[in-house]
Each structure stands twice: as C-alpha cells, then as structure tokens.
Amino acid sequence: MQNQSAFEVIPDVAGEIELSVLIPVCNEEESIAPLFERVCDALKDFGKPWELVIVDDGSTDGTLVNVRKEYERPGLDLRIIEFQRNFGKAAGLQAGIDAARGRLLVTLDGDLQNDPYDIPKMIAVLEERDLDLLCGWRKSRQDGLWLRLIPSYFANRLIRKITGVHIHDYGCGLKLCRTQILKQIRILGGMHRFIPAWIASVVPTSRIGEMVVNHYPRQFGESKYGISRTFRVFLDLLSVLFFMRFRQRPAQFFGSIGLFFGGISGLMFVYLAWMKFILGQDIGTRPMFITAVMLFIASVQMITTGILAEMLARTQSTDINYVVRKTYDRDD
C-alpha cells in the first residue's frame, strides 16, 4: 500500500457527491456491523450520491478487518483510510476531511452513541437556516455523571465564555458542515473539541448553529476518555485563545505582558530611588531591588519575543486574510 501523508489535500470534486459521512474509529470491532447498518438505513432515501469515509486510527483489534468486509455491501461508496499507528481523533478527522469529496460533510463517532438517523434532519436544518456548521447537542446525554457529565458541563461553559461561540455541547461527535468551509481550517493535536471555534475564525458566529440530537449508551468496548481529559481541554483552550486572538499579532500578546512587568518594575525603581536619594537608605540588599531588576529583564525579554514573533508571522505566514464566499454579478 502506498504511504500517503495524513495531511495531503485531495482535490475537491464536491460537485459529484452531495454528502461525505466521516467516521474515525479505533478498536470498535463489535460496533462496525451495526454502525454500517444504521448509517446505510438512515440514508437509504437520501436521493443524492453520498460516500462513507472510515479512518482507522491504528486499531489493534479486528476493526479494520470488519470495515473491509463492508466493501461487499452493494451500492455503498466506501473509502477506508488506514493509519500506520494511533495518531488520535484530531488526526483522524483531518485525514477524513482532506479526503472528503462531498459538498457537505458530517462527522460522527464509531461507538454507536450518535444516531445516524439525525443526519437527514440536520441537513434540512442546515439548509433552511443557511448555516455553515450545525453541531449536535446531546441534551439527554447517556454518560456517567461524575466522570463525563459534570466535567463536560463546566468545560462547555468555559469554552463558550472564552471563544464567544455559544454552543452547548462542544464534545458531540455529530457535526454537519459545508466541506469547503471545513477545508479552510486545520485540526491539530486535541483541537477536534474546538471545531466550532476554529470555524468561527473563518465565518461569522451567526452561521454556526446547533440542534438537539439523540444519544445512546455505549454498547460495546470502553470509553477512551476519562477525567484526565478535563485538564488537557483546559490547556488546549489556552492555545485556542492565543491563535484566535493573537495569531496574526503576537506582539500584542507578548508585548502586553512585557509592558505589565515593565510597569511594575518602573514603580519599584521609583520607590527605591526615593528611598535612596531622599531618605538616604541603603537599597542594595533589599529584596525589592532584586525583584525590580528581574521584572525589568523579563519585560525586555517579553517585548523582544513579541517583536520576533511578529516578524516571523509576517514573513513566513501564507494565510490569506480574506475569503470570498461568492461573487455576484448584475444579473444574479
């Protein structure tokens, strides 16, 4: 099998296929057969060409074998992407997005907790409300209270507050998006949790919506997420905040910190000068003097770091600072 980069962009021929169904899987061998049954049954009356893209994220059980058996299913446009090892869900989603050929793309998890029968409803809502991204909202979520529901509740509130994208359920795997919009972002690391925030960097938040969807208890296997995910989400959120607000102007981020340190250092030096030259006291051994010097050095370092980061961002960035959705002529 020819090796292919997980981030190689495949030419978009979205006009030929209406919908791409993207499912990343990892060690879900028992879920594969019922998953294919539900997806195919849910879209049997779709009426337009659609494809199913499965990304096997380094499964160590019979997941890939069971997926390959589905090639025998008549009328199914199935594409399989096999990773050389486990790269994580974000990489699986990105590989599937790069390979997708549909005008629309829907993602769902492979553990049977998402309901494929929600897909046609979501397509209708997306088109009716003229949205670019429609997120599922597991309002009646079937997960553990202490390890999943409570941490997710506070994480979602924090993400909404910081990103400004008011989605109730960032963690729902069922999302529907226009493929051309989704291909404008890159999902790296653990950033699959923040797809609505990344989409908000290329479209107005008014074009991002949500819809209540079904959610079922896990039938097979074990959850791959635990309480430790809460801490990773917080760290990833800091990265999202930086890239959303300061990616093209890092000097403001580092410079603000440098000016803050410099301001405190300056006040300390003024006070120490008054103690030295007005009151005649010795300041050489005062802890405040050492602190003021350290803050001054930190201030200079942060400001120069901001300048260097700004220079790198301006000289190496290949980002286009605008995207035209459509051009209208007089006769349109």
Query: Domain spans of the chain?
Result: 17-246, 250-316
Alpha-carbon dihedral sign for residues 206, 208, 214, 215: negative
Q: Kindly provide the residue ranges of all beta strands, DSSP E only, lying in the chain, ordered along the sequence.
A: 17-25, 50-56, 78-82, 102-107, 133-137, 175-178, 208-212
Q: Tell me what percent of the residues of the chain surpass a pLDDT of 90.
A: 52
Q: 121-148 pLDDT, tens per residue?
A: 999 999 999 999 999 999 888 776 665 6
161, containing H or E segment: helix 150-163
Q: Is the pLDDT of residue 228 over 90?
A: no
Q: Is the pLDDT of residue 39 over 60?
A: yes
Question: What pLDDT, on a 0 to 100 scale, did the predictor assign at position 159?
Answer: 80
As a whole number of angstroms, the distance between CA 141 and CA 159 comes to 19
Neighbouring C-beta atoms of residue 14, cutoff 10 Å? 17
Q: Classify domain 17-246 by CATH number.
A: 3.90.550.10
HSE-CB for 8 with a 13 A CA cutoff: 6
Predicted TM-score (pTM) of this structure: 0.74
Q: Is the pLDDT of residue 283 over 60?
A: yes
10 — pLDDT class (breaks 50, 70, 90): very low
Highest mean predicted confidence (pLDDT) among 164-173, 275-284, 287-296, 311-320: 287-296
Q: Is the pLDDT of residue 247 over 50?
A: yes
